[in-house]
Amino acid sequence: MTKALIVIDVQNDFCPHGALAVAGGDKIVGGINALMGGFETVVLTQDWHPADHTSFADNHAGAAAFSVVDMPYGPQVLWPRHCVQGSDGAAFHPALNTASAQMILRKGFRPQIDSYSAFFENDRATPTGLHGYLQDCGVKDVVLVGLALDYCVAYSALDAAKLGYCVTVQSDLCRAIDLNGSLSDMQAAMRAAGVILE
Ligand code: VGL
Ligand code: ZN
């Protein structure tokens, strides 16, 4: 049985001093590196937005960061500009072991749609290709770690469960944004979907 470790968005902009800093985001890097050796397949994801991305508050005149707008695909939080393609903020945390990864998946690169999940964009329908890759590798079990627990990790875990994987989220190697109760909401949603929260 092949297990994959999926490391979500351990990038400078989600770490202290970054544009969308998650408290303690840098504290999980050593533990994630230590975990990698136990997996046949290691996938890293990278939030990777063009400068004109519609999830950036400053691309909407007068809109405040962390407000919510209606997009054709549903409600969308407007974030501070972050993880712009090729920027230092979009780079992996310098201490993350990227050499052991077989696959680096970039997401959120289409200007008109965000992608929290590593499997589907925020319309919950456009695939990223990760499911095909994992199927080709014979992966049945996935362990998720990274940033942020209540957004990209949670959406990835929910999609993985829906796709039929056995899903574990290792919470001590995640950190959350916790916007308006998002952490407890997403923990409940993950549990209801059969995700193992460790
Ligand atoms: C994320 C908000 C916006 C994440 C990415 O990685 O959780 N959150 N873009
Ligand atoms: Zn983003």
**Catalytic residue check, 9:** yes
Q: From ligand 1's centre to the CA of 166, what distance in Å? A: 23
CA 14 – CA 16 distance, rounded (Å): 7
CA nearest ligand 1 atom 8, residue:
151
Check if 47 has its Cβ closer than 6 Å to any atom of ligand 1.
Answer: yes
Tens place of pLDDT for every residue, the chain, 198 residues? 799 999 999 999 999 999 999 999 999 999 999 999 999 999 999 999 999 999 999 999 999 999 999 999 999 999 999 999 999 999 999 999 999 999 999 999 999 999 999 999 999 999 999 999 999 999 999 999 999 999 999 999 999 999 999 999 999 999 999 999 999 999 999 999 999 999
The reported pTM is 0.98
51 CA to centre of ligand 2 in angstroms: 11
